[in-house]
């Protein structure tokens, strides 16, 4: 089959794992939305990861922050036209877009998400909780009578495959090293993490925070915030998106990994930790509890400083007894086979006029 994954070109290891696994099953994977928008080319399947992906890989819109109503109308009409012949699967990574604080842009993003989910023939969930959340936030016509598949997130296989053993591993200096990868989306996320880190009764602790995102990379308060954070003993802040090599080095050196979320539907951080045999703490929101249960992680209540501090202490005291299930979760080949079987099951329901061959 010809499968379009619009976000395939972005530096996201989840999408690369999915694409490579589908290619190993004999499918052709494409990523450029211009093929969809400006030619007669019709894929057999569109696998929409994030709604923004339709524009991230198209010359039609250079920057997603410039999203306007006419872009939305163009996409909506195109998907209405093509869904008659192309099966559209929407992955529910985020039930709703993350607020940016820019009122009109946030409004346009909400409409984009609604178009993405409305155009889908079926949904793919990374946990059961997002199934109920989808029905909470959207009108019934968007999700009613649409099939859904629930799969595991999967480990970061391509990241580990491309990771070379380190000649000079990070010197931990006998400390208990806590790594916080991923973006910091809100200032409140960062202050919550740091206050819990200070409160946790762990000797020789270090907290390494990646900290990409607006609040630490582009905010006018960036210099003040960096100075404040770096003045806290035991805390090191990158303040940027980490390249794959640095991400791997820090995860390998970590004794504990934390998903720094107060609000979320999913997170790939527990699976990043598990990829390198590490334990993860995560918030009791969205599908994250299901992920942590699968990977022997520890939950904390979002916003509760004492809860996160206790989770850190629990991980510290259990550090010599922690182990991952074997295997921790299905392989990407197994996940791709689940998706493939789901596609052929949908084909047999005659949701589109175009016929596929195995």
Q: What pLDDT sits at residue 10?
A: 62
Two tokens, residue 100: 């940016």
Q: What pLDDT sits at residue 171?
A: 76
Which CATH class, in words, describes the domain spanning 164-317? alpha beta
* Chunked mean pLDDT (size 10), the chain, 358 residues: 82 87 96 86 94 86 86 95 94 88 88 96 96 92 93 93 73 87 87 93 91 68 72 86 90 95 93 97 97 97 97 97 94 97 90 59
Q: What pLDDT sits at residue 100?
A: 75
Return the CATH fold of 2-151+332-347.
Answer: Rossmann fold (3.40.50)
Q: What pLDDT sits at residue 9?
A: 61
Q: H or E segment at 256?
A: strand 256-258
Q: Are strands 28-30 and 2-4 parallel, antiparallel or unpaired?
A: parallel
Q: What pLDDT sits at residue 4?
A: 94
User: Are the C-beta atoms of 126 and 89 separated by less than 8 Å?
Assistant: no
Q: What pLDDT sits at residue 348?
A: 85
Rounded Cα–Cα distance for residues 72 and 187 (Å): 30
Asked if the domains 2-151+332-347 and 164-317 are classified in one and the same CATH topology, the answer is yes
Rounded Cα–Cα distance for residues 130 and 126 (Å): 8
User: Are the C-beta atoms of 207 and 193 separated by less than 8 Å?
Assistant: yes
Q: What pLDDT sits at residue 354?
A: 57
Q: List the chain domain ranges.
A: 2-151+332-347, 164-317
Q: What pLDDT sits at residue 167?
A: 60
pTM for the whole thing? 0.91
């Amino acid at each position: 089959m010809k499968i379009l994954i619009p976000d395939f070109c972005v530096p996201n290891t989840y999408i690369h794992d999915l694409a490579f696994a589908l290619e190993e099953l004999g499918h052709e994977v494409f990523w450029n939305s211009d093929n969809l928008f400006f030619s007669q080319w019709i894929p057999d399947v569109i696998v929409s990861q994030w709604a923004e992906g339709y524009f991230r890989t198209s010359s039609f819109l250079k920057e997603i922050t410039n999203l306007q109503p006419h872009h939305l109308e163009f996409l909506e009409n195109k998907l209405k036209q093509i869904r008659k012949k192309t099966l559209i699967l929407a992955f529910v990574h985020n039930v709703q877009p993350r607020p940016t604080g820019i009122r009109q842009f946030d409004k346009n993003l909400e409409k984009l998400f609604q178009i993405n989910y409305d155009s889908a023939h079926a949904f793919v969930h990374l946990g059961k909780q997002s199934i109920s959340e989808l029905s909470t936030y959207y009108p019934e016509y968007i999700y009613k009578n649409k099939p859904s598949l629930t799969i595991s997130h999967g480990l970061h296989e391509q990241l580990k495959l491309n990771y070379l053993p380190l000649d000079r591993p990070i010197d931990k200096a006998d400390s208990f090293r806590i790594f916080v990868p991923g973006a910091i989306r809100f200032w409140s996320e960062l202050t919550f993490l740091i206050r819990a880190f200070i409160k946790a009764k762990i000797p020789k602790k270090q907290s390494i925070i990646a900290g990409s995102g607006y609040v630490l990379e582009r905010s006018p308060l960036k210099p003040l915030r960096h100075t404040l954070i770096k003045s806290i003993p035991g805390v090191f802040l990158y303040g940027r998106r980490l390249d794959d090599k640095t991400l791997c080095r820090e995860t390998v050196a970590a004794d504990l990994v934390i998903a720094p979320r107060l609000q979320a539907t999913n997170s790939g951080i527990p699976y990043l930790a598990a990829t390198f045999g590490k334990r993860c703490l995560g918030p009791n929101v969205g599908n994250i509890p299901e992920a942590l249960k699968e990977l022997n992680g520890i939950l904390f209540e979002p916003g509760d400083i004492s809860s996160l501090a206790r989770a850190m202490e629990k991980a510290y005291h259990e550090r010599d007894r922690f182990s991952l299930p074997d295997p921790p979760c299905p392989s990407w080949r197994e996940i791709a086979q689940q998706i493939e079987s789901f596609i052929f099951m949908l084909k047999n329901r005659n949701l589109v006029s175009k016929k596929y061959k195995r």
